[in-house]
Amino acid sequence: MNPIQPHTLFTDFDIDLFKAGKHFQLYEKLGAHLIEVNGIKGCYFAVWAPSAKSVSVVGDFNYWVEGQHPLYVRWDSSGIWEGFIPHVDKGTKYKFKIVSHNNTATEKADPFAFYCETPPNTASVVWDLQHSWNDTTWIEKRKKHNALNQPYSVYEVHLGSWKRNAEGKFLTYLELADQLVNYVKETGFTHVEFMPVMEYPYDPSWGYQLVGYFAPTSRFGKPQDFMVLVDKLHEAGIGVILDWVPSHFPSDAHGLGFFDGSHLYEHPDIRKGYHPDWKSLIFNYGRNEVRSFLISNAIFWLKNYHIDGLRVDAVASMLYLDYSRKDGEWEPNMYGGRENLETISFLKDFNEAVYAQFPDVQTIAEESTSFPMVSRPTYLGGLGFGMKWMMGWMHDTLQYFGKETVYRKYHQNDLTFSLTYAFTENFMLPLSHDEVVYGKHSILGRMPGDEWQRFANLRLLYGYMFTHPGAKLLFMGGEFGQSSEWDFQQSLDWHLLDYSYHKGIKQCISDLNSLYKNYPALYEKQFSADGFEWINYSDNENSVIAYIRKGNDAKDNLVIVCNMTQVVHENYRIGLPASKSLKEIFNSDKLEYNGSGVQNNFSIPVQPIAWHGKTYSAGIKLPPLAVSVFKVE
């Protein structure tokens, strides 16, 4: 006798929301859910497969035999197949056997599975999300920690290669909950950002080709183990951001592609449904059910894993119909433009849904074009993101720092241009994983000069980054001057911390994080032109720039001077708006960083000498290849 029973978790209202693209808790209905029906414990299964001829659940409970446990299709044309199977327990492996109308049979992993087999195995696993959270204090204060007028310094991490054990194997979520948490706390970052943790089949994709959108990868442990990691970070006062990939997905046989024998999740037009760069499939953002799937996924991580922010990957590829396409390979929108109107609508819906339910989190766009108002509210016509990566700053700054110091005077504009548009968006300054792979060298490896100069340049770059307006992001390894390019197949080169130059970089980053968090002028107005004022950006002959960072109170203002060459200036005059004295509070040339120790050790008097268009001025000592930060006393 077939033990499957008709059962549903869906109401008519659920179906209406699903069809309208407005059901944002689909994970509570679709997938596999351990329940009790008429006193019998078992599992309710539901899957969206409107073009299927039949759907059955196969698994280790029925020896993977098709047809033993068929699901029932709903009567309401929703395309949902469902049913209750008694005595299926937590830990059961399963897939959906789907026979299409052309009689093609495939075994698909559950798109809503909470847990998956460890690749290369591909089955879904019946699981629950029970966990006793210990982060109440963090959640209650998260609104302040995540606010745009607070310090936001992000440590970007690839879990598989941050650190490995003595045998070269992955650290587990529980081991990371000890080692990573302590390290992030020690170095002073306010947040960590995990490259995709959702289940993915192919390690070289770094997680950006997802199959299990609702399951943390089992490479590092169980779902509850990942919850412990998040919990421990929150207990340490550290926020957690996840990379989220709604832009594309792989065509693996067990994944979302051609799910029910039709283009269910991907756009049926290859010009919109296939990504030529990544050889992957693109979601159909105009299909309401797909919008419900994606937005439900975003809400899922924020709600069930207490995530504090989502960094949305490859937004530029989503926004433009001609992205990476030649003439004739794309079709203009209804107005003749290149913008993907369906994507724009989807992203607005996504941000509105997230901020409506979680006003204390942030969404962050990786968007590399000049598309307007990415980080402006939807009610003003923006896309609704909280922040946007400042890719132009990253490109121009790294290009500048890669030049020998003798040539920098010819490229001053590369350094200063970012301030012409710095306040058009809420920008995050990224030095991300993409900048340390594929022959680009490590960040340290880009720095010119001898060994001393390379490390001085790196400290200078970081000092400039942390005093430039905007939030900050640094990829793992950069904080101690990783020498080689990032390799996802092995641990970072932690042995480098045995050497003084690398210790100095780590200490410098720790102190910069402390500076950023403790001086309001660096964060209170970090996204406003009111928080920045040039002192001098035109001294290209000496390759020196100077500027003021401002907080809500003028007494908190800071003066920053960057010397981009190895020439020491004993009495470099800068203009100042007030007659108060200056006290040096940070210097990237300190001996403890392995600098040369050229510092301003005493209070610097400000004189009534007009300079740089200002009434007052002061003569300061400029260390070589260094940033000096002064508090106005």
**Which residue is it, tokens 């946007």?**
388
- CA-CA-CA-CA dihedral for 600, 605, 606, 611, to nearest 10: -50
The rounded distance, in Å, linking the Cα atoms of 536 and 548 is 10
Counted residue by residue, the chain has a size of 633
Question: What pLDDT, on the 0 to 100 scale, is given for residue 1?
Answer: 37
| Averaged confidence pLDDT in the chain | 96
Q: Which strand (E) or helix (H) includes residue 532?
A: strand 532-539
142-154 per-position pLDDT tens digit: 999 999 999 999 9
Question: Taking residues 445-473, what's their average pLDDT?
Answer: 98
Q: Is 313 a catalytic residue?
A: yes
- Cα dihedral sign for 354, 360, 365, 366? negative
Question: Taking residues 196-208, what's their average pLDDT?
Answer: 96
Task: Return the structure tokens found at 591.
Answer: 């001996």
Question: What pLDDT, on the 0 to 100 scale, is given for residue 3?
Answer: 64
The rounded distance, in Å, linking the Cα atoms of 461 and 588 is 10
Contact between 494 and 468 under an 8 Å Cβ cutoff? The reply is: no
The rounded distance, in Å, linking the Cα atoms of 99 and 527 is 53
pLDDT at 276 over 80: yes
Confidence class for position 81, pLDDT limits 50, 70, 90: very high
2 or 523: whose pLDDT is higher? 523
pLDDT at 2 over 60: no
Q: Is 366 a catalytic residue?
A: yes
The rounded distance, in Å, linking the Cα atoms of 630 and 519 is 11
Contact between 230 and 221 under an 8 Å Cβ cutoff? The reply is: no
CATH topology classification for 529-632: Immunoglobulin-like (2.60.40)
Q: Which of 14, 82, 313, 524 is catalytic?
A: 313
Q: Hey, do 12-125 and 529-632 end up sharing a CATH topology, with the first three levels equal?
A: yes
The rounded distance, in Å, linking the Cα atoms of 129 and 245 is 22
CATH number for the region 12-125 comes to: 2.60.40.10
Domain layout of the chain by residue ranges: 12-125, 529-632
220-262 per-position pLDDT tens digit: 999 999 999 999 999 999 999 999 999 999 999 999 999 999 9
Measured in whole angstroms, the distance separating CA 322 from the mean position of its chain's CA atoms is: 25
pLDDT at 79 over 70: yes
Question: Taking residues 313-318, what's their average pLDDT?
Answer: 96
Q: Which of 110, 199, 366, 589 is catalytic?
A: 366
Percent of the chain with pLDDT over 70: 100
Confidence class for position 512, pLDDT limits 50, 70, 90: very high
pLDDT at 134 over 80: yes
- Cα dihedral sign for 434, 436, 441, 446? positive
536-566 per-position pLDDT tens digit: 999 999 999 999 999 999 999 999 999 999 9
Question: Taking residues 208-230, what's their average pLDDT?
Answer: 98
Question: What pLDDT, on the 0 to 100 scale, is given for residue 633?
Answer: 85
Strands 471-475 and 427-431, sheet pairing: parallel
pLDDT at 291 over 70: yes
The rounded distance, in Å, linking the Cα atoms of 105 and 121 is 19
